[in-house]
Amino acid sequence: MLTAKKLVKVYNTVPAVRNVSITLEPGQIMALVGASGSGKSTLLNLLAGLTDADTGEVRLNDERVLGPSEVLVPGHKDIRLVHQEYQLMPNVSVRENIAYALRFFEKSYRDFRVNELLKLCRLTDVQDRIPRQVSGGEKQRTAIARAIADKPAVLLLDEPFSHLDLPNRLIVRDLLFDLVRHEQTSCLFVTHDATDALSIADTLGILRDGKLIQLGTPVAVYHQPVTAYAARMTGLVNILKAKYLSLLDLPESDNPESLICLRPEQLKLDDTGMPVTVRAVYFKGSHYELDVAVSRYVSLRLLTSRTDIQVDQVVHIRLRDNELWRLKG
């Protein structure tokens, strides 16, 4: 189990990580989502023992993870970090890149384990090519295979989905599922885009300005975000002041300035609903996203499978249920 307790890191006067505590159980996948500059990379480096914390500590089971100022070779043997740049050896094959991580093991075990990793990481077909001859997704999976070769307890990944096309994102998703299931590795990844995190992580955290402002299941964070930032980081959302609820035929709340979070799928087209004007129609493949004007100052996004909606058309909308989520800030 990896635990971080009240980690703090300040660069000069810039607080990069502020009082962050997390627990990562074996076989668990955690995603930390935050905008650029929210402290994701700094936190990963602290967890990996590659940056010294100002205060607080990281522990792997009962052992404290030492920072670079306390050891000769920075890092912990049971915690691996896969960077965005992959850092592969350019002149040797995919297979040899992975085997290098096992160079101190007996050859028969090394061969067996490399074959297993090639299969797990879907690299068997490209194992004899050098990094320059494989795709970005294959390079990344080589870096992951190398990182997990000698079965570390914890795998940390920096933006593992951001440079990949959809088929490769799905491969990495399946790979992480297989890894935690078969090897009980704990995975933590950071990302600025929660799309993949929602479907992969058991636990999702929201980082803002170095602070972990929310931690929970993806379902809980998506439906009950604590702030407008947490809501926006986890998907498309309508945020409107309570005083405008009457425009949707809903009772206003005690505090007219409080913010209401309405996911687009909470709204539907319904002939008995409130009339609104369509401002834009976006084709999304499986559905359309509509931007509708409720009043001069309020517009909302909603989703529909109807194909006949045009810009400037008047349609009627309604809330699917009267469950409203109020934000704290």
Inter-residue contact 56 to 4 (CB < 8 Å): yes
Work out the angle between the directed axes of helices 136-148 and 107-120 (0-180°, nearest 10).
Answer: 140
Stretch that binds ligand ADP, among 36-44, 69-77, 80-88, 229-237 (CB under 6 A): 36-44
Question: According to the binding rule CB under 6 A, does residue 16 interact with ligand ADP?
Answer: yes
CB-nearer residue toward ligand ADP: 41 or 140: 41
Stretch that binds ligand ADP, among 35-43, 111-119, 145-153, 284-292 (CB under 6 A): 35-43
What does DSSP say about strands 63-64 and 79-82: parallel, antiparallel, or unpaired? unpaired
Per-residue tokens: 292: 């509708």
- The CB-of-154 to ligand ADP minimum distance in angstroms stands at 19
Question: According to the binding rule CB under 6 A, does residue 162 interact with ligand ADP?
Answer: no
Question: According to the binding rule CB under 6 A, does residue 238 interact with ligand ADP?
Answer: no
Stretch that binds ligand ADP, among 10-18, 69-77, 171-179, 253-261 (CB under 6 A): 10-18
Report the alpha-carbon distance of residue 101 to residue 168 in Å, rounded: 24
Question: According to the binding rule CB under 6 A, does residue 51 interact with ligand ADP?
Answer: no
Of positions 24, 28, 29, 41, contacts ligand ADP by CB under 6 A: 41
- The CB-of-215 to ligand ADP minimum distance in angstroms stands at 16
Question: According to the binding rule CB under 6 A, does residue 208 interact with ligand ADP?
Answer: no
Report the alpha-carbon distance of residue 222 to residue 194 in Å, rounded: 10
Report the alpha-carbon distance of residue 94 to residue 83 in Å, rounded: 17
Report the alpha-carbon distance of residue 33 to residue 29 in Å, rounded: 13
Nearest to residue 77, comparing CAs of 53, 43, 104?
A: 104
Where does this chain bind ligand ADP (CB under 6 A)? 11, 14, 16, 34, 36-42
